[in-house]
Amino acid sequence: MIDIIIKTHTRIGKGELLNIGEYIAESGYQKVGLVIDQAFRNDSYVHQLIEQLAAKFAIVTYYYDLPFEPDYESLDRVKYEFKDKDDNSSKVEIIVAIGGGSVIDFAKGISTLIHNHKPALSYKGFPKNIRPSIPVIAVPTTAGTASEVTFNAVFTDTGAGRKLGINTHNNFPILAVLDSNMTKNCPYAVALSSGLDALVHSFESYACKKHNYYTRMFAREAIKYLFANIEAALKDKESDEAREKMLFGAYLAGISLYNAGSGPAGALSYPMGVVCKVPHGIAGGFILPYLIEHNVNNGYLDYSDIAFYLGLDGNTPQELSQSLCKYIFHLYDRLDVWSFAKKYKVDVKDETLTEYINLLQGAFDQNPLSFTPADGIEILKKIF
């Protein structure tokens, strides 16, 4: 039996942001919360939406301004923007999240805490027997995390120095809006990090042990969209088509990811983020080509199917898999990925970093071939 879960209604198209009010009205909600990335505080397009919503609904607006990825403490502080501190009654019935993965994850966390009144850390991991979250509409402003179509929401336990999250099927957004207008002004570094994150999701879910034919179908299509459009999306701000296809590629990768699983690149991004402050997407992105190389060098040849699908050179599975390795390294050179590695201080001898990595064997075991903490550290040495 194969179980594929897709729960999110999705609208794709330039200008779709401004149709959100119509959707909310048709759904019968009257009190609307907004969680918006502070980068859009003065964005005229977003302000059109806010004005539309304010004319029809009671709204509460919060501009997400955390300096790094969200933590549980911030959830406990901000939740009282959306619920009464004295009696825990909700001020909102639905939340619209506009931003990257961290912003959408934060909105998911707030939506959970509206009707679940314990401290946020009480719901870490995969909580059971909790009250339903209020609905979330997700509008991604980056093409990468796929938080708009997944149930995962990542949060850091600052005391323990670990990323854990609040992961529940209640978190699936009821609507995802993929509007190319929302990624037009994304800074190069952020867009690159997001695009690499989507590639990590697609390649790791393709290869992981829990994959099936259908998850691979989503992963292959995601890779095709991402490879074909990432350069234009990053370098040509006027290419609405490339940016829309990047959004859709990231979306497909997310479907594959939560239905199949991930692997070492995604796992290693967590200690790199917590200990070294490397953003999640680019952290996993740094690892990805070396992980693919590791697998191919050790005899994993299923990548040949992707290479054939992309029309790369090669007559045998080995040749095709090696062609894919070369392609992704050359792509990284064209995107100037490695110059970003120089911006982060990743000390592979840091005991806190290595201790965290040593806890990740369970995630590493999702790789199709043996992969150990030592292998992860060796890849970090090559990069940093």
Rg over CA atoms, the chain: 20
Q: How far apart are CA 202 and CA 129, in angstroms?
A: 31
What b/e sequence results for 315-353 when a residue is b if at least 16 CB atoms lie within 10 Å of its CB, and e otherwise? eebeebbbbbbebbeebbeebebeebeeebebebeeeeb
pLDDT in tens, 281-312: 999 999 999 999 999 999 999 999 999 999 99
Task: Write the DSSP string, 22-51.
Answer: HHHHHHT--EEEEEEEGGGTT-HHHHHHHH
pLDDT in tens, 5-47: 999 999 999 999 999 999 999 999 999 999 999 999 999 999 9
pLDDT in tens, 189-220: 999 999 999 999 999 999 999 999 999 999 99
Q: How far apart are CA 61 and CA 82, in angstroms?
A: 9
* Tokens of residue 318, six digits: 């080995």
* Tokens of residue 232, six digits: 């234009």
Question: Is the pLDDT confidence value at 237 over 90?
Answer: no
pLDDT score at 163:
86
Mean pLDDT confidence for 121-143? 96
The closest of 9, 8, 63, 56 to 32, measured between CA atoms, is 56
Q: In what helix (H) or strand (E) does residue 91 lie, and over which residues does it extend?
A: none
Cβ-count burial of 14 within 10 angstroms (0-12 exposed, 13-18 middle, 19+ buried)? middle
More confident residue, 158 or 36: 36
* Tokens of residue 194, six digits: 């997001």
Question: Is the pLDDT confidence value at 164 over 90?
Answer: no
Q: How far is CA 334 from CA 128, 236, 328, 349, 362, in A?
A: 45, 14, 10, 30, 34
The closest of 84, 71, 75, 86 to 35, measured between CA atoms, is 75
Question: Is the pLDDT confidence value at 136 over 90?
Answer: yes
pLDDT score at 65:
93
pLDDT score at 274:
92
pLDDT score at 211:
97
Q: How far apart are CA 35 and CA 44, in angstroms?
A: 16
pLDDT score at 55:
97
pLDDT score at 377:
97
Mean pLDDT confidence for 232-236? 93
pLDDT score at 212:
96
pLDDT score at 238:
86
Question: Is the pLDDT confidence value at 182 over 90?
Answer: yes
What pTM did the predictor assign?
0.95
Q: How far apart are CA 182 and CA 285, in angstroms?
A: 23
pLDDT score at 11:
97
Helix (H, G, I), strand (E, B) or coil at 73: helix
| Residue ranges of domains in the chain, CATH in brackets | 9-183 (3.40.50.1970), 188-383 (1.20.1090.10)
For residue 215, the one-letter residue type is: T
pLDDT score at 67:
80
pLDDT score at 256:
97
pLDDT in tens, 67-89: 878 999 999 999 999 999 999 99
The closest of 146, 149, 141, 142 to 171, measured between CA atoms, is 149
Give the whole-number percent of the chain exceeding pLDDT 70.
100
Per the CB < 8 A criterion, the answer to whether 163 and 156 are in contact is yes
Mean pLDDT of the chain: 96
Least confident among 17-21, 49-53, 346-350: 346-350
Cβ-count burial of 172 within 10 angstroms (0-12 exposed, 13-18 middle, 19+ buried)? buried
Q: How far apart are CA 375 and CA 38, in angstroms?
A: 39
